[in-house]
Amino acid sequence: MDYDYDVIVVGGGGAGMTAALVAHEAGASVMILEADGKLGGATWLSGGVIYAAGTSVQKKLGIEDTPQAMYDYIMTLNAWQTRPDIIRTFSERSAEAVEWMVSLGAEYEWVVKSGVDTVPRGHCTKGAGFTIGELLKNEVGAMGIETALNTRVERLLFENGRVCGVHADGVDLHAKAVVLTTGGLGNSPTMRAKYFPSAAQHGDIVYAVHDDAPFILGDGIKLGEQVGAEITGIDTGLVLPSAALVPNSVEAFLPPWMMLVNVDGHRFMPENAPYAVSGYLINEQPGARAYGIFDEKTLVEGSADKRFSDPYHTGEVSQTWDEDLIRKHVGTGRIKTADTLEEIADMCGINRLALRATAERYNADARNDVDTEWEKNAPRHFPIDEAPYFAVEVRASVIGQTSAGVDIDATTRVRDRNGATIPGLFAAGETVGCIQGKRYSGGGMGVGNALTFGRIAGEEVAKEVLANDPLPGLETA
Ligand SMILES: Cc1cc2nc3c(=O)[nH]c(=O)nc-3n(C[C@H](O)[C@H](O)[C@H](O)COP(=O)(O)OP(=O)(O)OC[C@H]3O[C@@H](n4cnc5c(N)ncnc54)[C@H](O)[C@@H]3O)c2cc1C
């Protein structure tokens, strides 16, 4: 067979460019096919936080950490409902992703606690995902790696028991191996309904942060399925809490100044809980919703402090929890207001007796500037005791990351429904289904996954296609 390339990479985002660069460096000829008119994907749009343990950046900042600690945390958070070999590999090699970015010119001033562990592991790339995307793109250009933009791969070629290329734009391109790095599925309502029903349940208000990357449509799943790939990680993506007051806005953090209750009138988490847990907790409440309750004084004084919305030091602040916007939505009826908490309860369908009891406990603590029950760590605790009162509905309706995708082994080889690897097919990044587990461990898991497993895919695919002793079905040139 005549091969056009050693390796074809499908999707030129973070994982794709990384895999291509590593495979190219090892000596393989590589082609990147990208559906969009530009490289970068969601990685380019991202906050640029990378989850990693044992990095030189942590060391410089005096943070003690080890891959074992990261492994233990992720496995425990997921109640062991995730694959140890994948999490072991991720934990042990995550630091390489950060060191590699540093070697390409990225800078890190902040490493933040982005999950619910005590160790800061969220490496905040200066300039966010834009920096990562640009550094990778420039490196791809500098290395002379061939790239075809506006080229959406529609089919995988499969011959002699092996994936041997792709079909795109009416053309067959042959390669000794293919790496799927097509990202998530957040922009496809059909794929969301099938693979992320707990997000899709919120109907019209569902929004994926991937919106500006138009081909984040789950193509990797469809391509993998054509050759028998196992699809795993169904309904395990990251959902972020949102009041949906600003259309299509990326919201990850709730303000600490309000009290959040479910329809039973009970609080169920510290209001500013990290998004590693907050969206999941809201989805688990009756009716998969919650209400943020506050009073007039809190609206004026609390909403003036925007620090809560930028824990990753990006310089961007939330628009949603702004006094003017909230008043506007009192006018549109989206936010309820009344002179008593009982009336607010009735308007929202909240148990009024429970809401009163919850507010009394909350207020008693707030007057002492503490939260003894849910241990909310806030710059200031506001009692809710001055009419008028307000209620805003909050749902976990923003998709931060999808996790359904093809199954792989720890070397990024795609597995079929029987658990065997599919010769010639590799995958990395958000299109892989077995990396995230049931819980998003913390800010940085998405980019961390893309870069870490992108590097592994690049190494492994190069090893395979450049081997002197070819695998069955793979002819040497
Ligand atoms: C606004 C935003 C903020 C985020 N912030 C963070 C953060 O700070 N930290 C974090 O860890 N995660 C974050 N995430 C998630 C993270 O960005 C992604 O999980 C990760 O970057 C995915 O990388 P990837 O390489 O797998 O996919 P992508 O970078 O999305 O790349 C996939 C590429 O494949 C292309 N493609 C798709 N289908 C085809 C096809 N059939 N043929 C050819 N090309 C195709 C797409 O056009 C795209 O360019 C954020 C996401 C967004 C959108």
- pLDDT, residue 469, reads 66
- pLDDT, residue 436, reads 86
Domain boundary among 398, 432, 454: 398
**Which residue out of 134, 147, 215, 398 has the highest number of ligand 1 atoms within 8 Å of its CB and is therefore the one to mutate?**
215
> How many angstroms does the Cα of residue 247 sit away from the middle of ligand 1?
21
Domain identity same for 297 and 391: yes
Domain identity same for 320 and 444: no
How many degrees, rounded to 5, is the angle at CA 360 between CA 356 and CA 364?
170
> How many angstroms does the Cα of residue 95 sit away from the middle of ligand 1?
20
Domain identity same for 88 and 104: yes
Q: Is residue 88 part of a domain?
A: yes
- pLDDT, residue 312, reads 83
Ligand 1 atom 12: the closest Cα is on which residue?
Answer: 446
300 sits in the region (left: phi over 0; alpha: psi -120 to 50; else beta) called: alpha
Domain identity same for 294 and 171: no
394 sits in the region (left: phi over 0; alpha: psi -120 to 50; else beta) called: beta
Decide if 451 contacts 182 (C-beta within 8 A).
no
Q: Is residue 471 part of a domain?
A: no
Domain identity same for 344 and 420: no
Domain identity same for 251 and 209: no
Please state, in angstroms and rounded to a whole number, the distance separating the CA atoms of residues 194 and 63: 41
Q: Is residue 117 part of a domain?
A: yes
Atom from ligand 1 closest to the CA of residue 44: 29
- pLDDT, residue 477, reads 45
CATH number at residue 28: 3.50.50.60
How many degrees, rounded to 5, is the angle at CA 53 between CA 50 and CA 55?
85
Domain identity same for 74 and 190: yes
> How many angstroms does the Cα of residue 441 sit away from the middle of ligand 1?
17
Q: Is residue 169 part of a domain?
A: yes
Domain identity same for 217 and 74: yes
Q: What range does the domain containing 272 cover?
A: 239-398
Domain boundary among 398, 424, 451: 398
Q: Is residue 474 part of a domain?
A: no
Residues within a 6 A CB radius of ligand 1: 10-16, 33-36, 41-43, 45-49, 152-153, 181-183, 209-210, 213, 215-216, 219, 250, 401, 429-431, 443-448, 450
Decide if 151 contacts 9 (C-beta within 8 A).
no
308: its two tokens: 């809560």
Tell me the pLDDT of the chain (477 aa) as tens digits: 789 999 999 999 999 999 999 999 999 999 999 999 999 999 999 999 999 999 999 999 999 999 999 999 999 999 999 999 999 999 999 999 999 999 999 999 999 999 999 999 999 999 999 999 999 999 999 999 999 999 999 999 999 999 999 999 999 999 999 999 999 999 999 999 999 999 999 999 999 999 999 999 999 999 999 999 999 999 999 999 999 888 877 778 899 999 999 999 999 999 999 999 999 999 999 999 999 999 999 999 999 998 888 888 888 888 889 999 999 999 999 999 999 999 999 999 999 999 999 999 999 999 999 999 999 999 999 999 999 999 999 999 999 999 999 999 999 999 999 999 999 999 999 999 999 888 999 999 999 999 999 999 999 999 999 997 666 666 554
- pLDDT, residue 157, reads 98
CATH number at residue 371: 3.90.700.10
DSSP line for 359-382? HHHHHHHHTTT--TTT----SS--
8: its two tokens: 């074809």
Domain identity same for 230 and 97: yes
**What residues contact residue 422 under an 8 Å CB cut-off, 6+ apart?**
163, 227, 228, 229, 413, 414, 415, 416
Q: Is residue 476 part of a domain?
A: no
Helix (H, G, I), strand (E, B) or coil at 109: strand
Q: Is residue 364 part of a domain?
A: yes
- pLDDT, residue 252, reads 84
Q: Is residue 127 part of a domain?
A: yes
Alpha-carbon Rg of the chain, whole angstroms? 24
Q: Please return the burial class of 147, using the count of CB atoms within 10 Å of its CB with bins 0-12, 13-18 and 19+.
A: buried
Number of domains the chain is built from:
2
Domain identity same for 394 and 262: yes
Ligand 1 atom 2: the closest Cα is on which residue?
Answer: 46
Domain boundary among 372, 398, 424: 398
Please state, in angstroms and rounded to a whole number, the distance separating the CA atoms of residues 408 and 461: 13
Domain identity same for 16 and 150: yes
Domain identity same for 192 and 91: yes
